[in-house]
Structure 1
Amino acid sequence: MDTPWLARQEPADRAGPAGPRAAVRLFCLPYAGGAAAAYRAWGALAPAPVQVCPVEIPGRGRRLGEPPFGRLRPLVGALADALTGHLDRPFALFGHSMGGLLAFELTRTLRRRGLRLPEHLFVSGAAPPDEPRTRPPLHAAPDAQVKAELRRLGGTPRHLLDDDELMELALPVLRADFSVLETYTCRAEPPLPVPMTVFGGTTDPLVPAASLHGWRRQAGAGARLVLLPGGHFFLHPAATEVVAAVSGTLCGQVVP
């Protein structure tokens, strides 16, 4: 069941993506410019019934040499193809920012294909998919403008932003991810029959907390909102709280 789409980052005493011990798999999708390593610590934070499976999409981490996707639907289609063989037990999807949109559209794709749906959909720091974008596009903007936005959001280490050589490597992936977001349009489909939890940061400048209620339009099985202190990348300092909330939900739903 080895696949480049799943990064093995579990502790040594826990099963990998194909292991028999976990009751539910939690597939974690990255934010723009991010990699599976963003969820490196989650395996140790989650209880034994929950198996954390960070997703590595092309253009980052171990897949740095692969061209990144610049459009959402081909990316989600390839991701659905890759994960189909790993849906043999209960699973959930978690995605932050761009990852939240990927998780949402991946669930829609699984439904259209008649495949197993997640037990729960967790979206974090992501605007509702049917809300119009109001920010100017960045995928074709000058480097200085892209860097300025990254500094404002606070998720990129300062040493990376100040290193021209590293940024030369990172910018193509960032531009591709911005293109995924900025060329996306939400097609009309029925709300998902999957329970949803929406995480947000209380001071997120990109996705205001008030806008997160819009996710309820997509949640046929209901959605709850969890606000945590912090800006757009609140999930890093609040990792313990986020994993606890996710694990508690899944253990209540899946584990008898």
Structure 2
Amino acid sequence: MADEFTKWFPSKVSRPEDPRIRIICFHHSGGEEKIWTNLGNPRRPYPNPLVEWAKENDAEVLACQLPGRSTRFKEPPVGSPQEAAEKIVTLLAPKLSDTGVPFFLVSHSMGCNLLFETLQAIKKKGLPMPTRVFMSGMVAPDTPEDKKPWKKSRDLTEEEFKQECIGWDINKEVFEGDTWAAYHLMLRADFLLFDEYEATPVEEGEKFDCPADLWFLKDDKRVTKELMEGWKKFFKEAELKPAEGGHAFLYDEKARVAYMNDLSAAFDRFLLELEYGA
């Protein structure tokens, strides 16, 4: 089980023995866990206010790594967000059961579908709900097919698929030579995850018992403010918030730092309320 946990949550960048809170993160399509945990190196530091805050405040960061990428590149991709969520919640259950350590979920793009199914699996297993969730850059799971702002990728030619990727602000350098050879199978599999995603049903009027911060990217050409607003109906409380940048904002240092500072400020407020009852 320990080896399996490490496969799904490889980074130990902030793993205090006695954490005050836990921050569980889900990456986007074509991404990996280091989008949340990377600190770079002494010669090329990678500004990461989220991890810096976590280390200073005894917060545990658990960033999920899906199969088919990075250290898991030889593994077959998961078949659905539900399949991944079931595995993730099984692995995290001992930590989620610890009511003395509040936890938060953070996701971007495809990761929002995984977050949604993780909430479903948590509820199914009777585990405590997160204190708050943070979501950005994906349409709500009940969005009609004709309102989804993308082309389904299964039948696209290679050139058509590249154009679809560009529409999601994927860096054009990805499509060159050996880089494309390394990324295209992973991207194909990840796009199918959200193309063919059929969400676990939620009963009419039922809401998750946790608040949500719903971030829309000001320059996102695909997932607009109006589409992000579709998530509101699934939560007892939800707030729509703007963030700088386009869909790939986590690769834009200025936009990423601003967003991670906002996340850190939210965690700070929670700890202050916990300590002082503010």
Letter of the 2:135 partner, please give it: V
**1-structure distance, mates of 2:250, 2:239:** 17
Q: Whole-Å Cα distance in 2 between the matches of residues 74 and 111 of structure 1?
A: 15
Cα distance between partner residues in 1 of 2:153 and 2:103: 34
- Is contact 1:30–1:55 with CA below 8 Å preserved after alignment? yes
Structure 2: segments with no counterpart, 5+ residues: 39-47
* Structure index of larger Rg: 2
**Is 1:36 the equivalent of 2:26?**
no
Contact 2:107 2:136 in 1 (8 A): yes
Q: Which amino acid aligns with 2:235?
A: A
Moved more, 98-107 or 143-152: 143-152
Which of 39, 55, 58 is the equivalent residue of 2:64? 55
Distance 2:121 2:246 in 1: 30
Aligned mates of 1:233, 1:86 — CA distance in 2: 31
The equivalent of 2:42 in structure 1 is none
Aligned-residue identity in percent: 25
Are residues 33 and 203 of structure 1, via their aligned partners in 2, closer, same or farther at CA, if it must alter by over 3 Å?
A: same
Q: TM-score, normalised by structure 2?
A: 0.82
- Cα-to-partner distance string for 1:220-252 (whole Å, 9 max, x where unaligned): 1x1111112221122333222222222222332
Give the equivalent residue in structure 1 for 2:222: 206
Q: CA deviation at 1:129?
A: 1.6
Unaligned runs of 5+ in 1: none
8 A contact 2:21–2:60 mirrored in 1: yes
Tell me, yes or no, if the aligned pair for 2:35 and 2:250 is still in contact at 8 Å: no
Q: 1:141 corresponds to which residue? A: 156
1:45 Cα deviation from its structure 2 partner: 4.8
Work out which of the residue numbers 216, 236, 245 in structure 2 matches 1:230. Answer: 245
Instruction: After TM superposition, give the deviation of residue 146 of structure 1 in Å.
Output: 1.5
What does residue 162 of structure 1 align with? 176
**Post-superposition offset of 1:9:** 4.8
For residue 104 of structure 1, what is the aligned residue in structure 2? Answer: 116
- Alignment-derived partner of residue 122 in structure 1: 134
Call closer, same or farther: CA 1:45–1:233 in 2, change over 3 Å: farther
Q: 1:52 to 1:242 in 2, by over 3 A?
A: farther
Cα drift, residue 185 of structure 1: 2.1
The answer (yes or no) to whether the contact 2:169–2:247 under 8 Å persists in 1 is: yes
Distance change (3 Å), C-alpha of 1:142 and 1:85:
farther
1:153 paired residue among 168, 171, 183: 168
Deviation at residue 181 of structure 1 after TM alignment: 0.8
Would you say the 8 A contact 1:120–1:196 is kept in 2?
A: yes
